[in-house]
Homo-oligomer: A and B are copies of this chain.
Amino acid sequence: MTAERIVILGADAAGMSAAHEALRTADRQGRSIEVTVLERGRHTSYSACGIPYWMAGDVRSADDLVARTAEQHREAGIDLRLGVAATGVDPAGRTVATADGAVPFDQLVVATGAHPVVPDWALDDDGTPLDRVGAVHTLDDGEAWLERFAVAGAGARVVIVGGGYVGVEVAEAAVRRGFEVTVVTRSRVLSSLEPEMSDRVATAMTDAGVEVVLDAEVTGLDRDADGTVTAVRWDGGSRPCDLVVVALGVLPSTGFLEDSGIPLGEKGALMPDARGRVTERVWAAGDCCDSVRRLTGDRVYRPLGTHANKLGRAVGANLAGGRRTFDGILETAITRFEGGGQYVEVSRTGLSLQDARAAAFDPVTLVTEGTTASGYQPEAEPIALWVMADRITRRLLGVQVVGGRGAGKRIDAAAAVLWHGGTVDDLAWMDLSYSPPFSTAWEVLQVAARRVAERI
């Protein structure tokens, strides 16, 4: 029996999860497979999410961000080829095109990830990246930022274009490094939060000394006679600066699939089903894919390492004879902003008000303020919770949290209720843990849910 040839494109979270799980599953099932991974870059299995904390100084070196090295993957029996980019896929002919020739496959996994959005203004006339301007995506980006930070020195002026998760996390890094920081965002800070919750984050950042410019679309950079960037310009304003961070999100790296016939959705994302399958003999996982929202059933592009790990693992199991489904996402997310004397944890799960209305729910929402621990405890920190439920079914639709230490991870209990299709009453009345250093006797998440329940 000849071994089935599994070819995986991309050696980060999704691809390597698929690779290892395929080997484990094949072993269990007594199947014979060969796993080849083609990776266009020179790194494997690194935490992109950790780069802002490396920039902040929390992480000692790039090595710490690498979960498994190429050697470790190879020791597990994976034929890992670095510096090999796929330039096309022929599903019918079962080959992947590369600069070095065609690679045949029996089953293909596309896990090529995503690349940052870099607008024209961040590039020179010939398309090369400008000096002192860059994104935050790869380990090389992180290395470049550490060098730029070192050269610029304390007190340098950093403008961050983009107020999403990466923008906020890099703002933290820059504040903690002692820079003068401006964040310019098209809409709000963390626009996946409702305005009243986003405002709380923006306030914490402002209190930390960050200049937050809302509703501003960056239109270009000023440069001096030498070509050095001197300022960021937007509609109605500009800010002199030494460094410019481009944090405008990412797009699926699927350009090489354009002529493959494999269907691509919004933003060019692959659209795997719950098994991770996209078409005959082709699977996909990770930041090159969109996801199905469990609450509405529609597809959205939400690249995130935790989804990549899960769907990658499911794909690895399924293509080797296992059985595993990835049953949708809740858009659960968490981050924090620390620095300048401020500390705020931020998390969300479920739909936004706008999304709930678009899905024809009849949403009731309320913000509740409380404390993370019993009020008399030194651990008590302020916390605000936005809760949304449907008026007709009483179903819980979404929760957002902004608060002090211990606030953020509370979102997981709400996510679990959403996962099970529970009601706001379930959240309000179920048996959550209580002890004075950890919660109020009515856990604040449950108070927030109860108050919404009482308004339905």
Binding site for B on A (CB under 8 A): 13, 47, 49-50, 53, 58-60, 64-65, 67, 165, 294, 304-307, 309-310, 326-336, 345, 347, 349, 374-378, 406, 408-417, 419-420, 422, 426-427, 429-439, 441-443, 445
Once A377-B50, A438-B334, A441-B306 are accepted as A-B contacts, the answer to whether A432 and B420 lie under 8 Å apart by CB is: no
Q: Are A58 and B378 in contact (CB under 8 A)?
A: yes
Residues in B whose Cβ lies below 8 Å from that of A419: 417, 422, 426, 430-431
Residues in B whose Cβ lies below 8 Å from that of A305: 434, 441
Residues in B whose Cβ lies below 8 Å from that of A416: 413-414, 416-417, 420, 422, 426-427, 430, 432
Question: How far is B378's CA from A65's CA once the two chains are assembled, in angstroms?
Answer: 13
Extra A-B contacts (11), CB below 8 Å, given A49-B436, A59-B377, A406-B406: A49-B374, A58-B376, A58-B377, A59-B376, A332-B432, A334-B433, A345-B438, A408-B433, A412-B445, A415-B433, A419-B422
Q: How many copies does the complex hold?
A: 2
Question: Nearest CB to that of A421 among chain B residues?
Answer: B420
Q: Are A415 and B430 in contact (CB under 8 A)?
A: yes
Question: How far is B376's CA from A60's CA once the two chains are assembled, in angstroms?
Answer: 8
Q: Are B438 and A408 in contact (CB under 8 A)?
A: yes
Question: Nearest CB to that of A333 among chain B residues?
Answer: B433
Q: How far is the CB of A213 from chain B (nearest CB, A)?
A: 24
Q: Are B429 and A327 in contact (CB under 8 A)?
A: yes
Q: Are A374 and B309 in contact (CB under 8 A)?
A: no
Q: Are A431 and B332 in contact (CB under 8 A)?
A: yes
Question: How far is B13's CA from A442's CA once the two chains are assembled, in angstroms?
Answer: 11
Q: How far is the CB of A174 from chain B (nearest CB, A)?
A: 16
